Amino acid sequence: MKSNNPNVAEMMNGFERICKAKGLRVTHQRTEIFRALLKHTDHPTTEGVFQQVRKHLKTISLDTVYRTIATFEEHGLIRRVHQIDNATRFDVNISNHHHLVCSRCNKIEDFYWPDFDRMKLPKSTSHWSGIEVKHVVVNGLCSTCKKKT
Ligand SMILES: [Zn+2]
Ligand SMILES: [Zn+2]
């Protein structure tokens, strides 16, 4: 399912709008880093984003990319994807969605599950508060790996 194919120009406009609304300066570096996150729709790691941005901004450091991504995350522009392999990955798709993860190649694909999203947590979790993310990870074989078997 190809659900993560954003219209880059539109998303970039959205980015600028959100930055302005939140009082974040829209710098060239931030714009390039966000664009790299958008183009890299497979839930990139910070290193992956760095490799991409570097092609355009030769002088950028990994540390800057780390700090910028942390700023984006803080302001809700991107989301950290938990529980998936050992690397920290980021998601520009901040709408409610879940992940299919390939047990062989670690490919991550988005999927939507409105029925799940509507479900209430069971009573046994009611002594916890501040629960935010209800995120399902489904493991299996992606279509490429399935073909190889
Ligand atoms: Zn795979
Ligand atoms: Zn995702």
Nearest listed ligand to the Cα of residue 101: 1
Pairing of strands 89-91, 108-111: unpaired
> Does position 54 have pLDDT exceeding 80, yes or no?
yes
Total number of domains constituting the chain:
2
Q: What is the pTM of this model?
A: 0.75
CA of 96 to the centre of ligand 2 (A): 9
CA of 58 to the centre of ligand 2 (A): 28
> Does position 6 have pLDDT exceeding 60, yes or no?
no
Regarding whether 102 and 127 lie in a shared domain, the answer is yes
Mean pLDDT (whole number) for 79-105 = 84
Mean pLDDT (whole number) for 34-48 = 88
Mean pLDDT (whole number) for 11-26 = 90
> Does position 143 have pLDDT exceeding 50, yes or no?
yes
Nearest listed ligand to the Cα of residue 104: 1
Cα separation, 22 vs 76, in Å, equals 10
- The answer as to whether 1 is a domain residue is no
Q: Where a domain ends, among 90, 107, 139?
A: 90
Instruction: Residue count of the chain, please give it.
Output: 149
Residue 109 lies in domain: 95-148
Cα separation, 137 vs 14, in Å, equals 28
Cα separation, 134 vs 128, in Å, equals 14
The percentage of residues in the chain with a pLDDT greater than 90, rounded to a whole number, is 52
What is the chain's alpha carbon radius of gyration, rounded to the nearest angstrom?
A: 17
